[in-house]
A = this chain, B = another copy of it.
Amino acid sequence: DAPLTFFLGPCALESREHALFMSNAILEIADKLGAQVVYKTSFDKANRTSMSGYRGLELDEALDIFAEVKDKTGLPMLTDVHLPDQCEKVAKVVDVLQIPAFLCRQTDMLQAAAETGAVVKVKKGQFLAPWDMKNVVNKLISMGAKDVLLTERGSSFGYNALVTDMRGLPEMAAMAPVVIDATHSVQQPGGKGGSTGGQREYVPVIAKAAVAVGVSGVFLETHQDPDNAPSDGPNMVILSELEKLMSELIQINALVKSF
């Protein structure tokens, strides 16, 4: 009977205007569906495949925009952190600090995030088993983190491919609430040579499967025009298709949590 929490937004913070446009569009859908939403956006893409990839805005500029979005929409905010010394500053504005998958075992990163008192959402590394996240959760708790969220975003499966193992969801749910990241689960890392590919058509597949298994939240990147977005275009959901997908996930969630 617990409702799903949605983590929604474009991959990258493109501009103040775009952030206001996207967050308003998402808020409208959330209100219509009665959905609980956290707005997600990244100020920095710190591990782009190539140097020419878009990296985002400066942190201070980004934080001002985050504050404005939060103020105007009332939505809680989530963003990624990449270095320990960003955490304190970011946590002054942002509600949920997300630890990227590649960094999920960096002790200094976890420590800095835990100490802010913000919610810490850790993405399971593509190189880890679900049960390996027990150590990460334990580290975070011993460091003083109060709210920890875990996120599944696929496991390495040969070269340039990921696979999402549905068994990992209940396995990790025994440690902390689990969010399915349906966007990065369908990434094809390095699959386009100089950038990363993706399979947008499988986002609903992964999301529906995970919700049927029983997760606490769904992370979905969305954009009004993904094919022209500066990053992760191939796997973002088209904004105009978001409401239908969210509505279906809400219905599946209500059904399976009634069992």
- Cβ-neighbour of A105 out of B49, B129, B163 (below 8 A): B49
Choose the segment among A33-41, A58-66, A201-209, A235-243 that binds chain B (4+ C-beta atoms closer than 8 Å): A201-209
Given A107-B48, A157-B163, A252-B256, also A135-B213 (CB < 8 A):
no
Please tell me which one of the listed residues B50, B106, B208, B213 contacts residue A205 in the complex, with CB atoms under 8 A apart: B213
A135 to B53, CA, bound (A): 11
Copies in the complex: 4
**In the complex, what residue of chain B is closest to A212 when comparing beta carbons?**
B212
Is there an interface contact between A106 and B47, defined as CB atoms closer than 8 Å? Answer: yes
Contacts of A169 in B (CB 8 A): 205
A125: chain B residues at CB < 8 Å are 102, 127
Which residue of the partner chain, among B164, B165, B255, contacts A255 with CB atoms under 8 Å? B255
With a CB–CB cut-off of 8 A, which chain B residues contact A49?
Answer: 105, 132, 135
Contact A108 B46 (CB under 8 A): yes
Residues of B within 8 A of A213 (CB): 205, 208-209
Q: How many interface residues does chain A have, given as a range?
A: 35 or more
Q: How far is the CA of A189 from the CA of B199 in the complex (A)?
A: 22
Complexed CA–CA distance, A48 and B169 (Å): 24
A-B pairs with beta carbons under 8 Å apart, 15 shown: A46-B106, A47-B107, A49-B132, A50-B139, A51-B143, A83-B84, A102-B102, A102-B106, A103-B106, A127-B127, A130-B159, A157-B159, A167-B202, A170-B202, A212-B252
Q: List residues of chain A with CB under 8 Å of any chain B CB.
A: 46-51, 55, 82-84, 102-103, 105-108, 125-132, 135, 138-139, 142-143, 155-161, 163-167, 169-170, 186, 189-190, 194, 199, 202, 205-206, 208-213, 248, 251-252, 255-256, 259
